[in-house]
């Protein structure tokens, strides 16, 4: 008897962790980019419309391991849909193990862990998060797939006529991302001032971080070789130009998962300076200069190192190429087809 190995029709509906009108950041942008990437290669993928009664899809793709997904996940499972979840997790540690062990015993957290039984697969962005998913969440290894964040092609191959900033600084250090205490832009400014280095900061202040944004503005005030630009569109020629024209990228953040800004800098062939913390100790930031994010002297010395030997702090091209949109689209396509087999 002939066996038909043709994959089932893939129809995916995606569910965000929160309404985008209330909160929108890198994780939400990744969801939109991933949806576009799989559409580009012919997958029927779109947002789940809670008002629609149409039920002609076979995969529900949740973004974020959050209790807010529980009811939708429950009914998707009871409706015989395959459930996939893209998670942003912490790094493995004994503290995190104990914290999650005890959280399983409480009401709302118990519901989160119940969802894990309904999932056909999960996606995480690096091997450290895979370790967390397996050892702390007890998810079988064969259900865990590493799919990194997407870096748009424009950062790998900026157009020759890409918009150049009309700014008065050259050979600058670049830092992009939301302005917040966690990302530690204030200490970076102080380190660059100490060295007399030009600095370009790109990003808008987060809700609730007004005091930090004011402190940053005050620190940069009157310094001619420092500029802060807000509201640049993600994936734009203007942003690609900012990477293209910098001499190095710095993000001495206190806490991240897989910062897209650092991936974009790596794709642009720029040396990286990151915080010496688990988020930076992953394949996609190989060769990055890691420094203590709490020490101005450490950040200062790190900046000197990447300026003096930039080629020593570049992510190998074959590694960062894994983050191209087409590669991520194919990774999700393969995952969808696998769970439908």
3-state SS class at 57? coil
Q: What's the rounded mean pLDDT across residues 195-213? A: 94
- Whole-number percent of the chain with pLDDT over 90: 77
Q: What's the rounded mean pLDDT across residues 193-220? A: 95
Instruction: Give residue 163's pLDDT band: very low, low, confident or very high (50, 70, 90).
Output: low
Report the chain's mean pLDDT, rounded to a whole number. 91
The CATH architecture of the domain made up of 153-322 is 3-Layer(aba) Sandwich (3.40)
| Confidence check: pLDDT of 309 > 70 | yes
Instruction: Give residue 257's pLDDT band: very low, low, confident or very high (50, 70, 90).
Output: confident
How buried is residue 255: exposed, middle or buried, by Cβ count under 10 Å (0-12/13-18/19+)? middle
Place of tokens 């949109």: 325
Q: What are residue 123's DSSP bridge partners?
A: 86, 145
Q: Give the helix/strand (H/E) hosting 133.
A: helix 127-135
The CB-based long-range contact list for 260-265 (8 Å cut-off, 24+ gap) reads 260/26, 260/29, 260/30, 260/149, 260/150, 260/151, 261/175, 261/176, 261/177, 262/288, 263/148, 263/149, 263/151, 263/320, 263/323, 264/151, 264/152, 264/155, 264/176, 264/239, 265/174
For the beta carbon of residue 42, count every other beta carbon within 10 angstroms: 10
For the beta carbon of residue 111, count every other beta carbon within 10 angstroms: 15
Residue 242 tokens, joined: 């900012």
11-150+324-340 fold: Rossmann fold (3.40.50)
What pLDDT, on a 0 to 100 scale, did the predictor assign at position 112? 87
Q: What's the rounded mean pLDDT across residues 213-231? A: 95
What pLDDT, on a 0 to 100 scale, did the predictor assign at position 231? 82
| Confidence check: pLDDT of 1 > 50 | no
Question: For residue 8, which of 337, 234, 252, 288 has the smallest C-alpha distance?
Answer: 337
Between β-strands 248-251 and 173-176, what pairing exists: parallel, antiparallel or unpaired?
parallel
Quick: pLDDT tens for 189-203.
Answer: 999 999 999 999 999
- Whole-number percent of the chain with pLDDT over 70: 91
How buried is residue 94: exposed, middle or buried, by Cβ count under 10 Å (0-12/13-18/19+)? exposed
**Domain coordinates in residue numbering, the chain:** 11-150+324-340, 153-322
Q: What's the rounded mean pLDDT across residues 304-332? A: 97
What pLDDT, on a 0 to 100 scale, did the predictor assign at position 105? 58
CA atoms of 309 and 303, how far apart (whole Å):
10
Instruction: Give residue 2's pLDDT band: very low, low, confident or very high (50, 70, 90).
Output: very low
Q: What's the rounded mean pLDDT across residues 134-146? A: 94
Instruction: Give residue 3's pLDDT band: very low, low, confident or very high (50, 70, 90).
Output: very low
Quick: pLDDT tens for 68-101.
Answer: 999 999 999 999 999 999 998 877 665 666 666 6
Helices (H) and strands (E) in the chain, counts: 13, 12
Tally of residues, the chain: 341
Question: For residue 112, which of 143, 135, 136 has the smallest C-alpha distance?
Answer: 136
Q: What's the rounded mean pLDDT across residues 232-243? A: 89
| Confidence check: pLDDT of 142 > 80 | yes
What pLDDT, on a 0 to 100 scale, did the predictor assign at position 26? 79
What pLDDT, on a 0 to 100 scale, did the predictor assign at position 167? 78
Quick: pLDDT tens for 95-129.
Answer: 666 666 656 656 677 888 899 999 999 999 998 89
What pLDDT, on a 0 to 100 scale, did the predictor assign at position 22? 84
Residue 140 tokens, joined: 């079988």
Q: What's the rounded mean pLDDT across residues 38-49? A: 96
What pLDDT, on a 0 to 100 scale, did the predictor assign at position 158? 80
């Amino acid at each position: 008897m002939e066996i038909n190995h043709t994959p089932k029709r893939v129809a995916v509906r995606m569910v965000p962790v929160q309404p985008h009108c209330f909160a929108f950041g890198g994780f939400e942008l990744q969801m939109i980019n991933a949806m576009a990437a799989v559409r580009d290669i012919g997958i029927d993928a779109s947002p789940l419309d809670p008002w629609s009664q149409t039920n002609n899809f076979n995969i529900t793709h949740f973004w974020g391991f959050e209790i807010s997904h529980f009811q939708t996940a429950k009914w998707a499972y009871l409706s015989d849909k395959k459930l996939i979840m893209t998670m942003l997790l912490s790094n493995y540690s004994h503290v995190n193990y104990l914290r999650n062990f005890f959280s399983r015993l409480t009401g709302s957290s118990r519901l989160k862990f119940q969802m894990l039984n309904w999932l056909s697969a999960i996606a995480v962005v690096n091997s450290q998060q895979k370790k967390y998913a397996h050892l702390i969440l007890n998810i079988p290894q064969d259900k865990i797939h590493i799919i990194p964040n997407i870096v748009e092609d424009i950062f790998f191959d900026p157009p020759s006529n890409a918009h150049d900033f009309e700014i008065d600084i050259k050979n600058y250090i670049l830092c992009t991302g939301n302005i917040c205490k966690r990302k530690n832009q204030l200490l970076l400014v102080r380190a660059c001032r100490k060295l007399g280095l030009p600095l370009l900061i790109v990003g808008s202040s987060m809700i609730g971080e007004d005091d930090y944004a004011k402190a940053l503005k005050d620190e940069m005030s009157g310094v001619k070789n420092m500029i802060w630009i807000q509201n640049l569109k993600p994936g734009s020629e203007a942003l690609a130009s900012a990477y293209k024209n910098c001499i190095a990228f710095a993000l001495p953040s206190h806490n991240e998962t897989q910062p897209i800004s650092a991936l974009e800098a790596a794709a642009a062939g720029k040396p990286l300076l990151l915080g010496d913390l688990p988020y930076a100790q992953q394949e996609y930031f190989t060769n990055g200069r890691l420094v203590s994010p709490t020490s101005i002297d450490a950040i200062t010395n790190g900046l000197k190192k990447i300026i003096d030997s930039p080629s020593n702090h570049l992510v190998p091209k074959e590694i960062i190429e894994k983050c191209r949109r087409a590669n991520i689209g194919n990774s999700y396509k393969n995952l969808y087809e696998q769970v439908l087999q």
